[in-house]
């Protein structure tokens, strides 16, 4: 077995794919086997890799999961916007192969997840909570996977689920804000790589936790770190917080 983790990038011609190819080539812990995009046949060389790294489109993930399970390959999933069925399929595949599935591979955002949970638990429902995200105008899904995860963390701390508590935007005669509602707002424009803010607002004071990504390299570096880490793991579904050894939040 090679000392380097052999990786294939799925979605290699995309914005993230370009960063992953460039950084994987320069990473001494990795051997870049190659990249595939739409119309390429992954079947012909999938056996030459240890880990598949996917940043493509959510509709690609189910086929990739079948291939990973059939060939015994580990998977780093960076793609966002999955349906409930696709998420269930990721969980089922993780019983058979190791998978890291993270809405955001940056170290800073994973600290934001941690701080958001801490703030939500400490403030104990006394503050109104809103999530605001902004991304470039090419982004296909909304809200971002990261904003969704922030919503899940806030909902869980309030004793509910994302589906029960999150409200997407407001328009018209909406009435006063319900106590436990979690507002979710997606802004799109320009070349913004990814901004996320969690607002905790009470009468007389407000806390805002903000993370701003200025380069896709921050996500790509984290995903490559996850790939090298994943090679030594047993089948299971892992988060970036597992990779970083942060407390599970």
End-to-end CA distance of the chain: 34
Please give the Cα distance from 18 to 51 (Å, whole number): 17
- 139 is annotated as an active-site residue: yes
| Segment contacting ligand NAD by CB under 6 A, of 87-95, 97-105, 161-169, 171-179 | 97-105
Q: Which of 6, 7, 8, 11 binds ligand NAD (CB under 6 A)?
A: 11
Strand order in the sheet with 98-101: 30-36, 5-10, 51-54, 74-77, 98-101, 236-238
Asked if 61 touches ligand NAD (CB under 6 A), the answer is no
Please give the Cα distance from 221 to 191 (Å, whole number): 20
Q: Which of 5, 61, 74, 80 binds ligand NAD (CB under 6 A)?
A: 80
Strands (E), 145-204: 166-168, 182-188, 194-202
Coil, helix or strand for 169?
coil
Q: Which of 5, 7, 8, 14 binds ligand NAD (CB under 6 A)?
A: 14
- String of b and e for 127-141 (b: at least 16 CB within 10 Å)? bbbbbbbbbeeebee
Is the CB of 64 or the CB of 165 nearer to ligand NAD? 64
CB 229 within 8 A of CB 99: no
- 82 is annotated as an active-site residue: no
Shortest approach of ligand NAD to residue 14 CB, angstroms? 2
| Segment contacting ligand NAD by CB under 6 A, of 21-29, 74-82, 92-100, 201-209 | 74-82
Which one of 58, 135, 185, 196 is the catalytic residue?
135
| Segment contacting ligand NAD by CB under 6 A, of 11-19, 43-51, 110-118, 163-171 | 11-19
Asked if 13 touches ligand NAD (CB under 6 A), the answer is yes
Q: Tokens representing 135?
A: 């991304």
Asked if 113 touches ligand NAD (CB under 6 A), the answer is no
Shortest approach of ligand NAD to residue 124 CB, angstroms? 30
Is the CB of 6 or the CB of 196 nearer to ligand NAD? 196
Is the CB of 38 or the CB of 168 nearer to ligand NAD? 38
Coil, helix or strand for 216?
coil
CB 9 within 8 A of CB 21: yes
CB 47 within 8 A of CB 67: no
| Positions in the binding site for ligand NAD (CB under 6 A) | 10-11, 13-17, 36-38, 55-57, 60, 78-81, 102-105, 219
Instruction: Kindly list the catalytic residues.
Output: 135, 139
């Amino acid at each position: 077995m090679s000392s380097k983790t052999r990786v294939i990038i799925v979605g290699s011609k995309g914005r993230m794919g370009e960063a992953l190819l460039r950084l994987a080539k320069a990473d001494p812990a990795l051997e870049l086997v190659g990249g595939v995009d739409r119309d390429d046949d992954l079947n012909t060389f999938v056996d030459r890799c240890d880990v598949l790294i996917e940043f493509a489109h959510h509709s690609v993930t189910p086929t990739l999961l079948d291939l990973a399970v059939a060939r015994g390959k580990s998977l780093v999933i960076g793609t966002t916007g999955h349906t409930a069925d696709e998420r269930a399929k990721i969980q089922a595949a993780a019983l058979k192969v190791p998978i890291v599935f993270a809405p955001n591979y940056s170290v800073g955002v994973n600290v934001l997840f941690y701080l958001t949970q801490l703030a939500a638990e400490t403030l104990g429902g006394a503050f109104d909570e809103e999530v605001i995200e902004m991304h470039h105008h090419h982004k296909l899904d909304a809200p971002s996977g990261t904003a969704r995860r922030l919503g899940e963390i806030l909902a869980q701390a309030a004793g509910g689920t994302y589906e029960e508590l999150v409200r997407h935007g407001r328009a018209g005669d909406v009435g006063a804000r319900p106590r436990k509602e979690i507002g979710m707002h997606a802004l799109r424009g320009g070349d913004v790589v990814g901004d996320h803010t969690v607002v905790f607002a009470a009468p007389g004071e407000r806390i805002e936790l903000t993370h701003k990504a200025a380069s896709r390299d921050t996500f790509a570096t984290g995903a490559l770190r996850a790939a090298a880490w994943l090679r030594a793991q047993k089948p299971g579904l892992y988060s970036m917080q597992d990779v970083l050894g942060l407390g599970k939040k």
